[in-house]
Structure 1
Amino acid sequence: MGKLTAIKVKNAKPGRHADGDGLFLYVKESGARTFVLRVQYQGKRRDIGLGTADVDSSGRDAFGAHNPLDATSLMLRKSLTLAEAREKAAALRKLAKAGADPVAERDKERRVIPTFAEAVTSAHKALAPGLAEKNAKAFLASLQEHANPKLGKLTVDAIGAPEILLALAPIWTDKPVMAKKVRARIVQVLAFAKAQGWRTEALPDAREMKSGLSRQARGGNFAAMPFAEVPEFFADQLGKGQSASRNAMMFAILTAARSGEVRQARWEQIDLEARTWSRPADMMKMKDAHVVTLSNAAIALLERLAPEDARKGLVFPGTKGGPLSDMSLTKIMRLAHRTETVHGFRSAFRVWAAEKMPTIPAMVSEMALAHRVGTSTEQAYLRTDLRDMRRTLMDAWGMFVSPLLSGASAENNVVSLMASQA
């Protein structure tokens, strides 16, 4: 028989009041009353909050006669009569003696397990501040498009390798790069769910998922045009009608820049006299500001775009005034019946530098591509961006790609412009 009674609970002064078998009533100075159970679990003492004391239960005698509750309802109830507190305490003591975690069992039924679609939204909200805006959008969009159709309505504690394989199957061979990103992001959402206590099972094993999917085609790198073909391709494009998309693609070739960097380029970043393009950190993949040295060919291309008094805002504006889309540059490649990517011109530049400019250290071409070079220690001691060497390299690349724009004589032009202008 417990030491407490309904009257004692109702009239108890601030402090701790024992009922027996580890059950206590805590009364705060404010008058708030809480039942707490003290148990031993894995050799350690734990105090477990059971709920507030219900001193005026509607439809029941205060701490007296009550309707029996099933185990689930008892764990969910947050306001307890004395009898219910004793019943809940007895159930948790029994679980603790059996080796189960009483806190986890108390919260098991109370916890609402979200669906995968809901977890995606929560994970995106939590992770987005630490991601670049572009990556955060890609994270959410890829999961909504490729994962939610199969996993969206499942609760996160019910998703294992079989369910993930089912979601990935439609894109695994057709879109291998995207499929791998989606697989990683699904696991990331499940890891987030586990951290939130929404699932207790281990994360799906990567090897298990890999063995359940067909072999993907080898590769995955951006398709690149052989550097020997670049001058003829460039001359062909130069001979066609001007458009922002075509000009942007040619500028990307001459600067070995990423498509996104070119599409966001602004006249305010370009100094034609100093022959530089200064790109702020927020437009760079590595989030480091970077200065591109502009060759004669790049300068000549820019001077063709707009008169001096109109060089404001975006260098390559879209039809609606905003930046061009990535597909607008790809469309130029497809109109030329080329299957390579615009990004692949960076690879062409890198191979050209290795084969045709052997006296220039590899570090220089990597810097020209805005790649980080060397170890963190080497980066700390390298206090130069090797701009003079990069200028020599980019000038040679501009001369190779377009002798015409570079101001070379007709005899030195390694491509025939007659065919492209026909």
Structure 2
Amino acid sequence: MKESKRQLHKLSTKFVEATTEPGRHGDGGGLYLTVRPGGSRSWVFLFKVGSKRYEMGLGSFDARGQAGFSLAQARAKAAGAQAQLKNGENPLLASRATQNELVVRENRTFGAFADSYLASIQTRFRSSKTVVDWKRNIEVYAGPLREIAVDRISTDDVLSVLEPLWETRFRTAREFRGKIEQVLDAAKVKGVRSGENPARWKGHLEIILGRGQKRKAKHHPAPPYRSMPEIIRKLRQRHAIAATSASLALEY
């Protein structure tokens, strides 16, 4: 049965702003203004599902709707909750589920997950240096990834932090890539990520990055053959002092 217009919008903005009488003041449609003994005001939505009564906080009162909610805004929120009830939803449980989802998202950035993962495994390390290396990798080198949701990290994201290191600091980059892969594998095990690991090496990043820049051997120029007698003489002088495998090999 629908509430008549008389039963709705019983409160006025003037009353809401001025009243200091503690208690609940009904506006109709399940919306109430709660005034506390100290004078603070907040909105609450009361409703029933079956035989069970629920109380859903809608926020504090603010005439301008900036730090809290004005009367008009509170009515709109209550109307939204009423619509959920008509659709068979419990607005309080739906609101809690949304808040929980937001909390999970905030705590599931790559940075937050990597930090918590490191905290869970650092007791396995034999050296404190390993912990320092991990921290440097996930806090400094992986800095551009930290605010990205862990389930949104892509191959392009991984390449963006690896490529600047790959040709100049190959060993560091190689170890760094392994740590990213390990963090993303852990995220998949924890159920906060799915699909292929974008930091995977075999059959994936190896195709794009290759095996890094190989250092070229530095060769010394061969001495002129006319200088060989003098070189041999000096080597044999060294033999007389202390025979070394290096000088003997060089003479050979």
Structure exhibiting the larger radius of gyration computed from Cα positions: 2
| TM norm structure 2 | 0.49
Greater relative CO, 1 or 2 (CA 8 Å, sep 6+): 1
